[in-house]
Amino acid sequence: VAVVTLWDAVRDPRKVRIGVGIVIAVALTLTQLFGQTVTALENMDDTAQRASVFILAAALVTLLGIVAFGAMLVFNGLEVLRRERHSLANALSLIIGVLILVYVVITVVTVFSSNVQTFLLMVLVGFPTGYLGLGLVAYVVWASAYTAWMRRRGIPVAAVIVLGAGLSGGRTVTPLLAARVDAAIDWIRARPAPEDTAPWLVCSGGQGPDEQVSEAQAMAEYAESRGVPRERIPLEDHSRNTRENIRFSQRLLATHDCAGPVAVATSSYHAFRAALLMRAARMPGYAIGARTARYYWPSAMIREYLAVLRDHRILNAVLLAVLCVPLALWALIALNILG
């Protein structure tokens, strides 16, 4: 698993399945190490006993990982609500963390109480929720690794595209948006080139109904204030979302005869999803992330994961429907018995 995943990452790291491979490889390794340790301590020679130990080890490793992940989300959710306004988006990590811990508690209680019906229900519920949970962990793990890797990779690019975000007072860049522009400028200046061959700094973002200027215009003005020549800042001021940011910027660069890989500058939590959309648009290059407040990052990553699920809604809907079939059959059988 590890070898195949590594090979996949080297070919093109802009894939969620690489994170799935990493999580599975780590889980299998921990399970094997734990099982071998217990087997050695117990001096087990019987194959059936050893198999039981490995199954128990896998269950224990999974359980501990789920509990740790749920607890982390709860603590982070409380921190976000303490610092930010109360909203569903900001409460996501708290809600998901609580649901995870409640699921674990109910499952453990049913095991020790020998409640077969409830335990079976929790196992069946675990199919679709396990799929979503594995996807979330895999996404967070690889998105984090990808952002750190690209920050150090630094291969030359023909342009850097800065993705827009909401403006302050409808006119000026917010600290979050300024950080994206700063990251792009610093990226270009860290790789000096003659002025006429320096990468284009594309500012991409349309004008919202409550904004006086486009996000692209506000970013360009900020970039100029930091010493970037105006003639090196093409504006893409029609996009309304990340997919359009990338697609419209791609067309804009084509009009400037810009060939070669591109870097997309955005916030750290958003970088990997931007990279996924780059790959979908067949745009060569990578995404770089401006640093984000640590307390805000987990909740933002959950929102990005939900956005990725939405981007591939048909595939995920089909897979979830298949995983829910056993649960639906169980419900029908239970209703017939009760009836």
13 and 129 together in one domain: yes
Radius of gyration of the chain (CA): 24
SS3 81: helix
Question: Residue 292 falls within a domain, yes or no?
Answer: no
Give the model's pLDDT for residue 43.
62
Question: Residue 205 falls within a domain, yes or no?
Answer: yes
Q: Which residues in the chain belong to E strands, given as ranges?
A: 159-163, 167-168, 172-173, 200-204, 235-236, 262-267, 285-290
Q: Which residues contact 236 (CB under 8 A, 6 or more apart)?
A: 161, 202, 203, 204, 205, 216, 245, 248, 249, 252
141 and 185 together in one domain: no
Place of tokens 């018995």: 337
Instruction: Output the six-digit token pair for 175.
Output: 């600290």
Looking at 260, 287, 305, the residue that finishes a domain is 260
Alpha carbons 264 and 250: distance in angstroms, whole number: 11
97 and 9 together in one domain: yes
Question: Residue 281 falls within a domain, yes or no?
Answer: no
241 and 169 together in one domain: yes
138 and 36 together in one domain: yes
78 and 132 together in one domain: yes
Alpha carbons 1 and 306: distance in angstroms, whole number: 26
Question: Residue 216 falls within a domain, yes or no?
Answer: yes
Question: Residue 294 falls within a domain, yes or no?
Answer: no
Question: Residue 268 falls within a domain, yes or no?
Answer: no
118 and 192 together in one domain: no
Number of domains in the chain: 2
| Per-residue tens of pLDDT for the chain, all 339 residues | 778 888 888 888 999 999 999 988 887 787 777 666 666 656 655 666 666 666 677 777 778 888 998 999 999 899 988 888 888 888 888 999 999 999 999 988 888 887 888 888 888 998 999 899 889 999 999 999 999 999 887 688 899 999 999 898 888 999 999 999 999 999 988 877 666 678 899 999 999 888 899 999 999 999 999 999 999 999 999 999 999 999 999 999 999 888 789 999 999 999 999 999 999 999 999 999 998 888 888 889 999 999 999 999 999 999 999 999 999 998 888 777 655
Looking at 218, 233, 260, the residue that finishes a domain is 260
CA-closest candidate to residue 92, choices 293, 297, 302, 269:
302
Domain range for 225: 156-260
199 and 137 together in one domain: no
CATH number for 213: 3.40.50.620
143 and 28 together in one domain: yes
Give the model's pLDDT for residue 141.
92
What dihedral do alpha carbons 123, 127, 129, 130 form, nearest 10°? Answer: 100
146 and 189 together in one domain: no
Backbone angles phi, psi at 163, to 5 degrees: -85, 135
6 and 143 together in one domain: yes
Question: Residue 307 falls within a domain, yes or no?
Answer: no
Question: Residue 99 falls within a domain, yes or no?
Answer: yes
